[in-house]
Each structure stands twice: as C-alpha cells, then as structure tokens.
C-alpha cells in the first residue's frame, strides 16, 4: 500500500556518523520566516564575493550576522567583529534565528548551544564548497548547525581525515544538519549546484551555519 504523502511519518533525526545528525525538513514549515530574516541581514551586510588566501575568488557568495563573522581574505581565514566592506559591526544575530539554531541543536542531541556567529552562504548554479573542516572557531565543544534553503544540493559528508570515504547527502529546502562532539572536525563540502528553480529563492541555494566562534569563557574567567 502506498501512503499518501501527508501520512508519511517523520523519520526523525537521521545519523550521518556519530555526532552528526540530519533533521530532514526541520526548518521547512517556517521557511518564509528564515528567508525574511536573511533578507533583513543582507540589507545591512550584502552578500559579497570573498577571496581565499592566495587571491582566488570563492564561488559561494557570503555574509554574516552575529557578534563575529567568518571572513576569508588574501591572507587568511578568520573571524571579525566588523564587516570589512562597511567597517560596521556585523548585523546582530536575530533572536528568532538564535532560538531556532538552539532548538535544532537540542533536537540533534546538543543542548545549550548559544551561537555567536552565523555565516550565510549563497550558491548559484556551479558554485561549490570544496572539502574542508570548520576549524577557525575557538570553542570546538560547540556544534555547527547548518540550515539549507532553496535549491537542493549534494552535501559531502566525510570523516576526520581528508582521505576518508565521503557520503553524498542530498540536502533539500528546510533540511538541517548538526555536527558536534566526535563529528565536529569532520571534513565536509558541497558539490557544484545544479541549475534549477525554487519558488522562494529562484535559482539559488542559501545555507546558514551557526557557530560558536569565540570561547565560551574568556581566558581570565575559565573555570
């Protein structure tokens, strides 16, 4: 018997590897709100092309909100408190986004996540992210929460070594991936985006990754 679509049970969190969970469709019901929040951020801090150390441009356009933003420039990758384009602080992380990220982390088994940074990526057809680790954060005890909107993409989920086998995970509009603990330093990437059209975002995919960029406790206050 084929169940009608609306009766399909939610599969619940799926484990990609220990510490890494896929929350299929977790953000879909409120996708319009996610999009509105990103639009508000980009009014203050527009998407821009960053260059990587050495000078080659990244194919993914980026911006940030939060106390810190991830920046790539000709010299290095790092977090900054100000947007290098405007010289102003990055737009604040909206309370709604922070609460959503915290709830997604908790649903994936990482309670108490309080992100201080949110990198927002915009992929257009052909844009990709090579295999990398998120390693510029000071507090690696906190997970990464990644939210996908718009066109589908193939997410590459590897292991702790660059040479480890890679799973190809199709990520759709509203899917959330959370990785932390033993998976925090896993290699991951995104295959070149295929052409297509999405009702909310047209021919684009947006991805938000929430991070804890700075140590939870300043050095002087560390327990």
Chain residues binding ligand SIN by CB under 6 A are 121, 129, 146, 148, 155, 171, 188, 190, 207, 209
State the minimum distance, in angstroms, from the CB of residue 153 to ligand SIN. Answer: 6
Query: Which of Fe ion, ligand SIN, none lies near 137, with the C-beta cut-off 5 to 8 A by kind?
Result: none
The least distance separating ligand SIN from the CB of residue 222, rounded to whole angstroms, comes to 28
Residue nearer to ligand SIN on the CB measure, 100 or 148: 148
Q: Select the binding partner of residue 64 from ligand SIN, Fe ion, none (C-beta < 5 to 8 A, by kind).
A: none
Cα separation, 217 vs 142, in Å, equals 12
Within a 10 A sphere around the Cβ of 32, how many other Cβ atoms? 9
Dihedral sign (CA 133, 137, 141, 144): negative
Task: Provide, rounded to whole angstroms, the least separation between the CB of residue 190 and ligand SIN.
Answer: 5
Which of Fe ion, ligand SIN, none is residue 63 near (CB under 5 to 8 Å by kind)?
none
193, 151 Cβ separation under 8 angstroms: yes
Give the C-alpha separation, 20 to 161, whole Å: 16
146 binds, among ligand SIN, Fe ion, none (CB under 5 to 8 A by kind): ligand SIN
Residue 27 CB, shortest distance to ligand SIN, in Å, is: 13
Within 8 A by CB and 6+ apart from 153, the residues are 123, 170, 171, 190, 191, 193, 194, 205
Residue 145 touches which member of ligand SIN, Fe ion, none, C-beta under 5-8 Å by kind = none
Q: Which pair of structure tokens corresponds to residue 87?
A: 């010289």
Ranges assigned E (strand) in 20-166? 20-23, 61-66, 69-72, 77-80, 117-123, 129-132, 144-150, 153-157
Nearer to ligand SIN, 89 or 189 (CB): 189
Nearest distance from residue 60's CB to ligand SIN, in Å?
7
Nearest approach in angstroms of CB 208 to ligand SIN is 9
Helices 31-44 and 95-107 cross at an angle (nearest 10°) of 130
Contact residues toward Fe ion (CB under 5 A) are 134
Q: How far apart are CA 28 and CA 35, in angstroms?
A: 11
- Residue number of the CB atom closest to ligand SIN: 207
């Amino acid at each position: 018997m084929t169940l009608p679509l609306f009766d399909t049970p939610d599969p619940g969190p799926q484990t990609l590897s220990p510490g890494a969970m896929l929350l299929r469709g977790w953000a879909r019901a409120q996708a319009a709100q996610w999009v509105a929040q990103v639009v508000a951020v980009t009014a203050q801090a527009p998407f821009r092309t960053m260059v990587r150390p050495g000078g080659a441009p990244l194919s993914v356009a980026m911006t940030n909100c939060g106390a810190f933003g991830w920046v790539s420039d000709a010299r290095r990758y790092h977090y900054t408190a100000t947007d290098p384009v405007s010289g102003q602080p990055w737009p604040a992380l909206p309370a709604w986004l922070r609460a959503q990220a915290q709830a997604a982390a908790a649903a994936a088994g990482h309670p108490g996540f309080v992100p201080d940074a949110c990198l927002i990526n915009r992929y257009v057809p052909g844009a990709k992210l090579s295999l990398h680790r998120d390693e510029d954060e000071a507090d690696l005890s906190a997970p990464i929460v990644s939210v996908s909107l718009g066109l589908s993409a193939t997410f590459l989920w590897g292991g702790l070594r660059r040479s480890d086998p890679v799973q190809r995970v199709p990520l759709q509009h509203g899917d959330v991936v959370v990785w932390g603990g033993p998976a925090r330093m896993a290699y991951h990437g995104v295959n070149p985006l295929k052409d297509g059209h999405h009702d909310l975002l047209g021919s684009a995919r947006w991805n938000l990754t929430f991070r804890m960029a700075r140590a939870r406790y300043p050095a002087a206050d560390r327990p």
